[in-house]
Chains A and B, each alone.
Chain A
Amino acid sequence: MGKLDRQRVKESSLQAVKPAKASIPEYDSSERSAVMVHRRPNFFYHLHPPTLPARESRFGYTFGLGGISLLLFLALGVTGVLEMFIYLPTLADAAASVRQIAYLAPFGWLLRNMHYWAGQMMVGTVILHMARVVLSGGYKGRRSNWLIGMALLALTLLLDFTGYVLRWDQDTAWALVMGTNLVNAIPGIGPALYRLLIGGQTVGQATLLRFYAWHVLGLALVATVLIVWHSFRVRRDGGISHRKSAPGPAPRVGREQLVRTEAIAALLTLAALVGLSVLVNAPLGPAANLSVLMTAEPRAPWFFLWIQELLRSAPVFLAGVLAPLAVFTLLSVLPYALDRGPAGVGEWFNRPGRLAQGVFLALVLAVIALTARGLLR
C-alpha cells in the first residue's frame, strides 16, 4: 500500500462520521491514551483538543476567522519588530526613517506593506469573527471569553490607530491632532487625560514617542496576553463552540484534520497578504509639518470614519466619546442583557439570540452606512 493510499484511507476514516464510533456513547478515552502512547502530539497538535465536533470544525462554520486574525497578529508582530530596527520615533526623523524602510532597506517595502495590509485585514477579520460568533450563538455559555474578545477588538482598533499615526505624514498627523482632541471634550477629566495622552499641551515629540511606546509595547503586550487567554478559553471550553441540542453524541473528528485546515488557511492568507503587498503599496504622504496650518480636512482611518461622520452632526463629546463608548458597551453586554441563556449555541441565526443578532446587525449597518458616507466624501 503506497503512502497516498494510506493517506486516503486515513482521511476517509476521519472525514466520515466515523460510524464505528457513532455507537460509542462517550468518546473512548482508552483509545485516546493509546494514541498518545504511540505518538506524542507535536506543539501544533497540542494546542488543540484531541478531537473536535465535526460539524463546527468545518471551515464553512467558522471561516477560520479567529485563526486568521491570530495569524495576522503574528505577522504584524514579526514585521513590526523588523521595522523597529529602522524606525525612529522623533519629529525630525520619523518621516525619513519611514522612507528608509519603504525605499532603501532591502525588502523594506515588503515589510511595510505587509505590516500595513495585515493591520487592515486584521480589523476586517476581527469584526467578521465577532459577527460569526454573534450570529451563530458562539458567545453562549462563554460570556467571559466574549468580553476578552471585546477587549481584543478595542486593542486591534487602538493598535491600528497608533500605527497609523507613526507613519507621520500630513494626513496621519492631523488625524492624530483631531482624534486626541476628542479627549478634551470629556467633562472634568478631559484636559488632564488629554495632557497624559499626548504628553504636554500640544501634539509634538512627546506625543509621537508615547504613541510609539503604546503601539510597539503597551498595547501589543496586552493584546498578546489577551489573545493567549482568549485562545486558552476556547481550548478549555472544549474547542470551538458547538451545538448541544441534537440527541446523542455529536460526531467528532481528530485534531489532525483541523490542523491541516488551519495550515491551508494560514498558507493562503499569507499568500494573499504577500501578494497584496507586492501589488499595492501602503499609503505614504508628504512628511507631517505641524507648524503650518492644516490645508485640507484630515480624514480619519477608515475604521474610525463613522465617528468622524457622527462628529459632523453632533456635539463633540456626544459623537466622539459617548457614541463609540455606547456602541462598545452595547456589544459587550449582548450575552448579559439580551441573550443570557445557552440555548441555540452553534446554530446560525438561532431563535433565542434573535434580539442580540438584531441589535448587532443594526449597529453594524449603522456603522457601515456612516463609513460609506465618509468614504464617498
Chain B
Amino acid sequence: MSLRSERTVAAAAIVLAVVLLAAWGRQARQPAAKQIIPTLTNRPELCLTCHDGIEEISASHPVAAFGCTTCHGGDGLALDADLAHTGMYGGRNPADLAVADVACGGAKCHSGDPAAGRDHIQRVNTSIQATYAGAIAQVRHTFGAQPDLTARMGVHAVQSDRPPSAEAVASLAAFVAHPTDPPPLQQFAANCLTCHLAAQPIAAPYFYRATGCAACHVLYDTDGLYRGGDPSISRTEPGHASAHRLTTAIPYSQCDHCHNRGNYNLPRMAFIARTDLPAPADADAPARRLAEYYQPIGQFTRCEWELDCVDCHTAQEAMGDGHIYSNQADAQDTQCLTCHGTLSEPPKLATITDPNDIALRQAQVNGKYALQVGDQVVVTERGEKLGHVRWSGDHLALTMKATGQTYRVPLVQGTACEQKPDEQASRYCHACHDHELPAP
C-alpha cells in the first residue's frame, strides 16, 4: 500500500476522529460549573464548583453576600486549582495577621471605627497574644537586658493609637536578640518565639490550630482533622479546621491548642510538651477538663473548670483593647469580684440603653445568649459590658458563650466569706475555693 493512497487518507481521517472523540470525552468529564454572584461584589464566582458543600463561614458573612474571594482573594473564575488559588490571601487562612488587613479589614469591616469597636485588627495587633510582650520583657529582665518588667519589645513593632494610660506603654519595638545580649536571650529568640498569634503551630495532635484571628475563631479538633462537607478538603490529612466556620462560641479546648500545652525549661530555653495526654478514657467531664486543661500544679475553683475560658477572659482582654500592656496581668480586666462582688459591694451593673451597643452585637454574633435594650449586665472595671452575665430580676445569671448553659452566679455579699477587702486576686479566693470537685 502506498503511503499516499486513499487508504492512508482514510487512516489519517480515523486518527483525527479518534482525537476528536478524546476531546469529546474531556468535555463530558468537565464538572458542571456552580456559579454564584455575591451581592457585595456582583462578580460571578465559580469556587463552589469544587468546594460544593463547604460550610457557610458564619451567619455574619453569608456566602450569598460575600462569596469566597472577598475574604480569600484568589481567582474566582478559574476552574484550574492552581490558578484559582493563586493570589489567595494567606493561603488557606486569610485571617493570618500578615494579611488580615487585606482579607478582613476595610472601613466597613474589621479595621473600622474604634468608637464602634470595629477596629478589631488594630486592637489584636496590640494585644498581648499578638505581641508576646510579657514573655519577652520577663526574659530580657531576667537576663539583664532591661532594668524592669515594663515591655519594650514585641514580636512585631507596634504603636498604640489610644490615649496614654498608666498601665500601658505607647509602643513596642520589634524584638531581635543582639550579638551582645547574654546567650540565654539569644537562645530565647531562636527557640521560644513560637507562642503568639502569628507563630506557625506545631504539627501534632492537640497543637493543631490556625494563626491570626482564626487561631481563636476557627475551631480545630485535637486530631486536626476536617469534619465538614467540602469534598475537596482532605479528611485524613491533619492540620485542618474541623469545619469552615468562624465562631465566638469558643470552647476551652480551642484555647488549649496553645495554652497549658507543656512547660518551659529556662536553663535550656526549650519547650517541653506534656506527656500526660490524653486524659484517661474513663474520666468524666469535669475530671477530663481538669486533666486536659490544667496542669497539676495550680489551684482552681469550680467556675474556672466548669465555665469556658471566654466566659471570664473577655473580648477586650483576649483580643486587646487598643492599649499595649506589658504582660497578661496588666491586660486582665476580669477578677472574681467582677461577677461575685465583695462583702461590701454587689457586682457593678450597667443598663444597655444604646441599640448600637457593642454588647448587643456580640450577643447576636455569639447566638448562645439573648440580650436586649433595657437589660442590666455586669460591667468590668474598664467598662466592658459582659452581655452573658445578666441581672435576671432577683439573681445574676451567666450563660456560657460556647454551650449556652446558664448558671446562677453566687454573690459574696451576705455570705460567710472570710475575704479581706484588699485581697481580691484569685489566689486569695483559691485558698478556700480550691477545686471544689463533686465528691466521687
- Give A contacts to B, CB under 8 Å: 7, 11, 15, 95-96, 99-100, 102-104, 106-107, 109-110, 257, 260-261, 263-264, 267-268, 270-271, 274-275, 277-278, 281, 284-287
Contacts and interface: CB of A to CB of B under 8 A. Distances in A.
B6 A278 contact: no
Interface string B1-20: 01011101100110110111
16 contacts: A11-B5, A15-B2, A100-B77, A102-B80, A103-B33, A106-B27, A260-B8, A260-B9, A263-B9, A264-B4, A264-B12, A268-B15, A271-B12, A271-B18, A274-B23, A286-B83
Contact of A99 (B30, B78, B86): B78
Given A110-B27, A261-B4, A271-B16, 4 more contacts: A96-B44, A268-B15, A270-B16, A275-B22
Q: Closest 9 CB pairs between A and B?
A: A267-B12, A99-B77, A103-B79, A271-B16, A271-B19, A274-B19, A275-B19, A264-B12, A271-B15
A185 to B, nearest CB: 33
A96 B16 CA distance: 32
A95 B87 CA distance: 15
Contact of A285 (B9, B19, B43, B86): B86
A257 B5 CA distance: 8
A263 B75 contact: no
B420 interface: no
Interface string B238-258: 000000000000000000000
B87 A286 contact: yes
Interface string B69-102: 0000001011110010011000000000000000
B26 interface: yes
B360 interface: no
Contacts of B33: 103-104
A287 B33 CA distance: 20
Nearest to B24: A107
Contacts of A268: 12, 15-16
Highest count of chain B CB atoms <10 Å: which of A7, A96, A104, A267? A267
Given A103-B33, A274-B19, A11 B2 contact: yes
A103 B80 CA distance: 8
A264 B86 CA distance: 42
B26 A264 contact: no
Interface of B: 2, 4-6, 8-9, 12-13, 15-16, 18-20, 22-23, 26-27, 30, 33, 43-44, 46, 75, 77-80, 83, 86-87
A267 B22 contact: no
A7 B5 contact: yes
A267 B15 contact: yes
Contacts of B12: 263-264, 267-268, 271
B4 A260 contact: yes
Highest count of chain B CB atoms <10 Å: which of A99, A110, A260? A99
A270 to B, nearest CB: 5
Nearest to A98: B77
A286 B75 contact: yes
B51 to A, nearest CB: 15
Nearest to B12: A267
Given A278-B22, A278-B23, A286-B86, A267 B2 contact: no
A110 B27 CA distance: 9
A149 B27 CA distance: 38
A107 B23 contact: yes
Given A274-B16, A281-B80, A286-B83, A107 B27 contact: yes
Contacts of A284: 78, 80, 83
A11 B9 CA distance: 14
Nearest to A276: B19
Contacts of A275: 19, 22
A170 B2 CA distance: 51
Nearest to B86: A286
A221 B118 CA distance: 58
A343 to B, nearest CB: 31
Nearest to A273: B19
Contacts of B80: 102-103, 281, 284
A38 B15 CA distance: 34
Highest count of chain A CB atoms <10 Å: which of B4, B20, B44, B78? B4
B5 A267 contact: no
B8 A264 contact: yes
Contacts of B18: 271
Contacts of A11: 2, 4-5
A340 B27 CA distance: 54
A103 B84 CA distance: 11
B6 A260 contact: yes
A285 B22 CA distance: 26
